[in-house]
Amino acid sequence: MTEVPEIRYAKTHEGLNIAYQAVGHGPPNVVYLGEWLGHLEMNWDEQRIARFLGHLTSIARVLLFDKRGVGLSDPVSLRELPSLEAWCDDVLAVMDDSDCERAALVAAGSGGGLAMTFAAMHPERTTALVLCNTTAKSGRDSDYPCGVPQHILDAVSEMFGEGEQPYPEAYLGADARDPRFVTAWQRWVRRAASPGTQLAMVKMLNELDVRHILPAIRVPTLIIHRSGDLWTRVCHGRYLAERIAGAKYVELEGSDHQVFMGDPTPVLDHIAEFVTGHKAPVEPIEYWPPSFSLISSTRQDMPHA
């Protein structure tokens, strides 16, 4: 078990307490925006998450935080769920409390919408934007065929509200068949948020659409996407790259949606070079390649890139 870094609390202008950690040394400074669900203490108990964060903190001073409503931060009313703008205020509170004037935003999965919104709203506080396996919109529309069909989004929402989630392999990759990992993951999720909070927030996130802000992003941007990601198909990453001015696009091999799963070394290599401005290869990380092929019950319903 990895030693848990000190937990600090920043206050928003509304008086909410936002739990955060400042780990590593900078400059540069990085704000890491992972999946919406989180728990600062539990992150360091899970080997895959801890090794990824540990390597990230070796190249920068990294700010990690639990968004309002989840983890160790103050709860929110399910009748008044936080907007992306409210979560941007959480980022500002953490940066201000930690004396961080400007930082690169490194986002993964559902953290992408928040990162893109913050970069567009606060370019003066953003040195760079890195988006890993993320999207501007989850759902499918007539003008966005890459999105996920509504019936699948509904099924995903219900899955998060069950309390004992049977996560599909498209979400957890090969580890979905490892009973020990699934048990640990379910424990992490339960600590992060109650089933009711999970259900409400996942429904909210599934409805988000930040495509309209993409032209407003004017900070250096790196988009990394694994070509075989079954949860957020590679066409999402390509869409972002085409619509964010000057964005650099890197497509990597692999099928794991979670950035810390599979072999995260190539992802960390690209992040390190983009954030620091020079090549700083990350020491290869030992990982567990899947011994079987991925099978997703929803794959036939997902759009192809």
Q: In terms of residue numbers, what domain contains 97?
A: 8-301
Distances (CA, A) of 89 to 39, 100, 200: 19, 14, 20
Residue 231 lies in a domain: yes
**The sheet that has 61-65: what strands, in order across it?**
8-11, 17-23, 61-65, 29-33, 103-108, 126-132, 221-226, 248-252
Under 8 Å between Cβ of 5 and 21: yes
pLDDT at 1: 54
Burial of 268 (0-12, 13-18, 19+ CB in 10 A): buried
Reference 30, options 19, 38, 22; nearest CA is 22
Q: Structurally, how many domains does the chain consist of?
A: 1
**Rounded distance between C-alpha atoms, residue 66 and residue 303, angstroms:** 32
Burial of 123 (0-12, 13-18, 19+ CB in 10 A): middle
**Rounded distance between C-alpha atoms, residue 189 and residue 70, angstroms:** 10
For strand 61-65 and strand 29-33, is the pairing parallel, antiparallel, or unpaired?
parallel
Residue 2 lies in a domain: no
CATH code assigned at 73: 3.40.50.1820
**Rounded distance between C-alpha atoms, residue 35 and residue 166, angstroms:** 18
Residue 1 lies in a domain: no
pLDDT at 76: 92
pLDDT at 172: 76
For strand 17-23 and strand 29-33, is the pairing parallel, antiparallel, or unpaired?
unpaired
Under 8 Å between Cβ of 239 and 140: no
pLDDT at 302: 38
Q: What does the pLDDT profile of the chain (305 residues) look like in tens digits?
A: 567 899 999 999 999 999 999 999 989 999 999 988 889 998 898 888 899 999 999 999 999 999 999 999 999 998 888 999 999 999 999 999 999 999 999 999 999 999 999 999 999 999 999 999 999 999 999 999 998 888 888 877 777 766 555 566 777 777 778 888 888 888 888 888 888 888 888 888 889 999 999 999 999 999 999 999 988 999 999 999 999 999 999 999 999 898 998 889 999 999 999 999 877 655 655 544 333 222 233 333 433 33
pLDDT at 187: 85
Contact residues for 80 (Cβ-Cβ < 8 A; gap 6+)? none
User: What pTM was estimated for this model as a whole?
Assistant: 0.89
Residue 208 lies in a domain: yes
**Rounded distance between C-alpha atoms, residue 140 and residue 90, angstroms:** 29
Residue 3 lies in a domain: no
